Amino acid sequence: MSLYHPVQIGSLKLEGNLFLAPVAGYSDRAFRSVCVDGGANFCYTEMVSAEALTRGSGKTEDIMNRADNEKAYAVQLFGGTEEVMAHAARLVLEKTSAECIDINCGCPVPKIIKSGAGSTLTKEPEKLYKIVKAVTDNTGRIPVTVKIRSGWDASHITWKEAAHAALEAGASAITIHARTRAQGYEGKADWNILKELVNLVGGKVPVFGSGDVFTPEDAKKMLEETGCDGVMFARGAMGKPFIFRQTRQLLETGSYTEISTSERIQSGFKELDILIKDKGEDLACREMRKRFCAYSKGLEGGAELRAKIIHALTRKDYEAVFCCINP
């Protein structure tokens, strides 16, 4: 089988296996939209609080909005009790047209862990089972997937138990970020664990890899070395939503086309325009500071650009920043 290939997640069939991971504060519909333009086969929303959703938070519901060009997408939920997660899953079905629900069992952020969610669930597979089962029992028409970590810390590597629990509870796919909760996003992801997970699951459901995928070459290496069914880009897609198209080119032809400066900047402005529509110009322009800084990396005079970007307040300010950039 080609390294680039279709993927079946329960009843959901996807054209390819290059995905945008759920990234807190980043994977809104504006960013997902430019990633779809850039070749992403499937995107996940940033984490949605099950607790906030069940309390009727309008801001939480906004996180779940579908991008206009998404053929399919997943809503990622986090929560610490099966009752709340089951209720939230029903609300996702009611309020969105999402084709999949993903359960976050890996976030290492302290406030998420304190709620009994995120990496706590990788550490407590019995609790993970109850939550995943509660969600699958309430989402019969769409598949439920699970994202885990390798464990709590180096002394508590629990991915095997977590994976078994997820499978027994009816998960249709498993993603692993092969770092422990203690590592956070530091150190190196252990792709050997991803390979072991692929062997453990044995083709029962797809297994996707996450962690340390920053270039098309990284994605190719992950697929070759681990045998995983698909790759999730997270930080690697920031400022580079076209990385999906480049990776597909590499997997299919052995090389890929570099992106022009003008195309890169145009992508940033499309993202900005969607954010302005969703959040208003002031908030959108402030949000885009970090995103345009990411787009500017690698450009000639990037440091000078970033010094101007961080002061931009309006769309016209950004136009002035990039007006003299060579294509």
What pLDDT sits at residue 3?
97
- Are 180 and 313 within one domain? no
Residues 301 and 228 in one domain: no
> Is 1 domain-assigned?
no
Angstrom distance (rounded) from CA 200 to CA 66:
34
Tell me, yes or no, whether 44 lies in a domain.
yes
- CATH code where residue 65 lies: 3.20.20.70
Q: Which string of DSSP letters, residue by residue, matches 254-283?
A: S--PPPPHHHHHHHHHHHHHHHHHHH-HHH
In angstroms, the CA 9 to CA 35 distance is 20
Place 16 in a pLDDT band, splitting at 50, 70 and 90.
Answer: very high
Choose the catalytic residue: 107, 228, 293, 324: 107
Q: With 80 as the cut, is the pLDDT of residue 325 above it? A: no
In a domain, 2, yes or no: no
Domain boundary among 253, 281, 311: 253
| Residue keyed to tokens 């996450």 | 210
Mean pLDDT value across residues 171-179:
96
Q: Kindly provide the residue ranges of all beta strands, DSSP E only, lying in 165-254, ordered along the sequence.
A: 173-180, 207-210, 230-233
pLDDT band at 267 (very low <50, low <70, confident <90, very high): very high
Give me the pLDDT at residue 121, please: 96
pLDDT in tens, 34-76: 999 999 999 999 999 999 999 998 889 999 999 999 999 999 9
Q: In the listed set 210, 237, 253, which residue is the last one of a domain according to the structure? A: 253
Question: What's the pLDDT band for 327 if we cut at 50, 70, 90?
Answer: low
User: 224 and 300 share a domain?
Assistant: no
**Total domains present in the chain:** 2
Distance, CA of 233 to CA of 186 (rounded, Å): 16
Do 164 and 293 share a domain, yes or no?
Answer: no
Distance CA 64, CA 194 (A): 29
Same domain, 83 and 12: yes
Q: What is the pLDDT of residue 28?
A: 96
What are the tens digits of pLDDT across the range 99-149?
999 999 999 999 999 999 999 999 999 999 999 999 999 998 899 999 999
Q: What is the pLDDT of residue 265?
A: 94
pLDDT (tens digit per residue) in 275-291: 999 999 999 999 999 99
- Percentage above 70 pLDDT, the chain: 99
Annotation says 107 is catalytic = yes
Mark whether 152 and 275 lie in a shared domain.
Answer: no
* Total-model pTM: 0.95
327 assigned to some structural domain: no
Query: Could you tell me the residue range of the domain that residue 317 belongs to?
Result: 261-322
User: What's the pLDDT at 326?
Assistant: 61
Domain stop point among 253, 282, 309: 253
